[in-house]
Structure 1
């Protein structure tokens, strides 16, 4: 992770200015979030999907462009605090026991503490620390009531839950879309903010979320390891003929493209440990940073960067 950030920083435009400094600071957060996600072989693309869902919902609800950009960033960074959760708990294939669930519940507060010393932390602090709060007051870490939950957290809480239910997990297959939407309808006003949940449901019913579900970037689907089942992540810069590997069983597969559809074909080989170590998707992260910075007013970046 450190090597990637050094490379990113070395490639930055000169001369240095507030905008570029802000991009570098965001890169430090997003690379960290990427590697937190990479610890779990079943959650590939989760951060991108939550970010994209949050972007669409915040636009549908009428938020101005700077707020949409902030919520979009928060969607990508919301699970930052999971860096403090042991891998054995994050990757457990069975149901968590009470003590393990209590440890999982510490990740929003841990993320908040991490952001406290970061120059751009205020941009995403609400999303990171409060995305598991609920309107009925039964959320965590603070048990806030509906009126106390910031918009960023309310939106991302819905998007995070939707993606968790519609994605592959080691203990279950993705839930059918209609079942997930029924749960959202039933929990609107209780687990989820009613206003933002209504907008999310409308987008889902219109098919606006279909191109995001089961993907890790625009036009790039998640691949499933044919040998052991977890997701295999194709990065933005990959092309047909590139070799990918499963992070669990280390099986090698070749990336194939036909009629603009991507798939993977097993090669029958196993790869060396160095070949299946996760690496950040530089192209995706840089694109998201550029887009966010272009919509957030410079005075906010100046205030947070100094």
Structure 2
């Protein structure tokens, strides 16, 4: 097989590897199920609204899914703390962009995601982290992912607070445009939200699958797109088992069984159907320019 034929064949496995890495990181936090998917989808919608090329949109969508990779290095006690962080704990949180960048180092696709992972907490006014970049020094992908990450954080329930209404989050982004968020991108995102073009993503963990909370303790129970009636799902916070009853685009019914899952049943699983769809989409849209990236990483 020639090198020109061999290199593109490596693209899908390398993309899949990145998605799996991010998935394992998210699985540590029982409250953020679906966060990476939602941020990646918001990022894709904003990139499309900008009229970017299809491969640029795909890169931004991938960056949105990978942005929190570095949180694997943050203690659970800090990530899941129910109250405000003290100065030391906040300093620990601020290390996650650099940790994520180090995890990417040496990966053949690192160039696709590095800016999103490293710079999504930078701010136009220079008050962000880790490097205090400002204005146009912050790459477009990082500015997009930063807005989408903040929006999902505000509208999602966390251990320390309930998620806020969409309009309130949009108003905060509008007020902070030019300071915490890029002015033009912030305005575009607010417009998308007020037109209802984000509604199918808000409060969902996949297309047509609304967030489900554990009937026993509250955190997210992830339901897969291929979940079948009477299959069991498990809360990875309290270990409770529930029976999946049915799903519509806006409603899922889970029935608590009163049983605790075994160690094997509570083992972290990747949603293979969703993963396959994400990898297939990224491969199709990135393949035309991918050979150069792989060659550069060799």
Same fold (TM over 0.5): yes
Change (3 A) 1:300 1:254: same
Q: What TM-score, normalized to structure 1?
A: 0.91
Q: State whether structure 2 residue 293 is matched by structure 1 residue 293.
A: no
Q: Contact between 2:26 and 2:33, CA under 8 Å: does it hold in 1?
A: yes
Q: SS of 1:17's equivalent? A: helix
Q: SS of 2:253's equivalent? A: strand
Structure 2 match to 1:127: 116
Structure 2 match to 1:284: 274
Deviation (angstroms), 1:18: 2.3
Task: Quote the Cα distance in structure 2 between the aligned partners of 1:240 and 1:220.
Answer: 14
Deviation (angstroms), 1:258: 5.5
Task: Quote the Cα distance in structure 2 between the aligned partners of 1:147 and 1:192.
Answer: 12
Q: State whether structure 2 residue 53 is matched by structure 1 residue 64.
A: yes
Task: Quote the Cα distance in structure 2 between the aligned partners of 1:32 and 1:297.
Answer: 21
Task: Quote the Cα distance in structure 2 between the aligned partners of 1:30 and 1:194.
Answer: 30
Task: Quote the Cα distance in structure 2 between the aligned partners of 1:157 and 1:303.
Answer: 24
Task: Encode CA deviations 1:91-146: one digit per residue, 9 max, x unaligned.
Answer: 21221111011011000011112222111100111101000000000000010011
| Correspondences of 1:1-306 after superposition (within 5 Å) | 17-257=6-246, 261-304=251-294, 306=298
Point out the more displaced range, 262-271 or 217-226. Answer: 262-271
Q: Contact between 1:37 and 1:47, CA under 8 Å: does it hold in 2?
A: yes
After the TM superposition, list the runs of 4 or more consecutive aligned residues in structure 1 that deviate by more than 4 angstroms: none
Task: Quote the Cα distance in structure 2 between the aligned partners of 1:159 and 1:215.
Answer: 14
Unaligned 5+ runs, structure 2: none
Q: SS of 2:264's equivalent? A: helix
Deviation (angstroms), 1:17: 3.0
Change (3 A) 1:242 1:298: same
Task: Quote the Cα distance in structure 2 between the aligned partners of 1:156 and 1:208.
Answer: 17
Q: Contact between 2:94 and 2:129, CA under 8 Å: does it hold in 1?
A: yes
Unaligned 5+ runs, structure 1: 1-15
Q: SS of 2:10's equivalent? A: helix
